[in-house]
Amino acid sequence: MADERRRVAGPVHVEGEVVATKRVGGYRHLTLTAPGLPERFRAGTFVAVSVAGHIARRPLWIHRVRASSAFGPTLDVVVQVRGSGTAWLAAQPVGTRVAVTGPLGRPFALPKDPVACLLVGEGYAAAPLFPLAERLRERGCGVSLVVSAPDEAGLLSALEARRSVRSVTVLTADGSVGQRGRVPDVVDDLVARSDADIVYAAGPTAVLASVAAAAERAGSWSQVAVEVPTPCGTGLCHGCALPVVGEDGVDRVVRGCTEGPVVRGDRVRWDALGAGS
């Protein structure tokens, strides 16, 4: 007995096309068509993209979707070149066809009530926080956004987000723009100032761990978007081990791509994930 509703809501695997590519700071922003995918998007989900000559997929956060454009519905991703796969992606011209699977993973959970929310994002990983901010604002939540990076080139622009949030804090480790500092050093202050009931975070493991700990100290909920090496992205291979504590208090290893990537911050076993790296 096929569950039709589930299949409609579930991810798709389609041939997409690069319809725009733009260098912004240290990143490459790609706009892709992917029939059926943007319509299913929820903030915090990601796509798995195929790279020529490679078997494993490359997971990328969905930064934004447009319901309509000259190319129909599109989605944007932000690529930071790390190895051969991201280098290939960043170099593709408009017109390149790529296999795209998504939206994948559990999205950010949204509060039912219009509560105060703090969103902390570092580097490219801040990408899913922008559409999240819009959803939260639609629900009447007061949103404080923190965008952080080692330097200016690593910052995602918060210009557009200013419309949907109450306050924006820009944080760079080298002080090149905004406030000088790193998330772990200022996070308690940020949480206190925002008076947030829920703290959302996306970024490197050390940043997520510090935010989760600060939220717990302040008695707030936290939702963190965790990145672990992800071979397939679809939940098929069990390769993306994410150590958590289950609701029953028992240690478990779940799939980052399927039971995550967004999980409650107090559920992650940060030490087993090697937080601090």
Ligand X SMILES: Cc1cc2nc3c(=O)[nH]c(=O)nc-3n(C[C@H](O)[C@H](O)[C@H](O)COP(=O)(O)OP(=O)(O)OC[C@H]3O[C@@H](n4cnc5c(N)ncnc54)[C@H](O)[C@@H]3O)c2cc1C
Ligand Y SMILES: Cc1cc2nc3c(=O)[nH]c(=O)nc-3n(C[C@H](O)[C@H](O)[C@H](O)COP(=O)(O)O)c2cc1C
45 touches, from ligand Y, other proteins, ligand X, none (C-beta below 5 to 8 Å by class): none
Other C-beta atoms closer than 10 Å to the C-beta of 52 total 10
Residue 153 is given by DSSP the state G
CB 85 within 8 A of CB 58: yes
Annotated ligand binding at 245? The verdict is: no
Alpha helices in the chain (DSSP H): 4-9, 84-91, 129-138, 183-194, 205-218, 270-273
- Comparing CB distances to other proteins, the nearer of 142 and 243 is 243
Quote the least distance from Cβ 261 to ligand X, whole Å: 4
- Comparing CB distances to ligand Y, the nearer of 9 and 237 is 237
Annotated ligand binding at 199? The verdict is: no
By C-alpha distance, which of 268, 144, 124, 122 is closest to 199?
Answer: 144
Number of helical (H) and strand (E) elements in the chain, helices listed first: 6, 16
Other C-beta atoms closer than 10 Å to the C-beta of 216 total 15
Quote the least distance from Cβ 12 to other proteins, whole Å: 7
Distance, CA of 30 to CA of 80 (rounded, Å): 11
Distance, CA of 243 to CA of 155 (rounded, Å): 29
* 231 binding other proteins? (CB under 8 A): yes
As given in the structure block, the two tokens for residue 178 are 């905004």
As given in the structure block, the two tokens for residue 234 are 């679809």
80 touches, from ligand X, other proteins, ligand Y, none (C-beta below 5 to 8 Å by class): ligand X
Distance, CA of 231 to CA of 228 (rounded, Å): 10
Residues within window 24-53 making contact with ligand Y, judged by CB under 6 A: none
Other C-beta atoms closer than 10 Å to the C-beta of 258 total 17
* 109 binding other proteins? (CB under 8 A): no
* Interaction mask 4-43, other proteins, x per CB under 8 A: --xx--xxxx------------------------------
* 82 binding ligand X? (CB under 6 A): yes
Cis peptide before 131 (omega within 30 of 0): no
Residues within window 233-272 making contact with other proteins, judged by CB under 8 A: 234-241, 251-253, 258
CB 265 within 8 A of CB 202: no
* Interaction mask 125-164, ligand X, x per CB under 6 A: --x-------------------------------------
Part in contact with ligand X (CB under 6 A); list of ranges 29-37, 77-85, 147-155, 174-182: 77-85
Residues within window 9-48 making contact with ligand X, judged by CB under 6 A: 46
Binding-site residues, please?
78-80, 85-86, 232, 237, 240, 257
Binding-site residues for [2Fe-2S] cluster, please?
232, 237, 240, 257
Contacting positions for ligand X (CB under 6 A): 46, 56, 58-61, 77-80, 82-86, 124, 127, 227-231, 261
Contacting positions for ligand Y (CB under 6 A): 237, 239
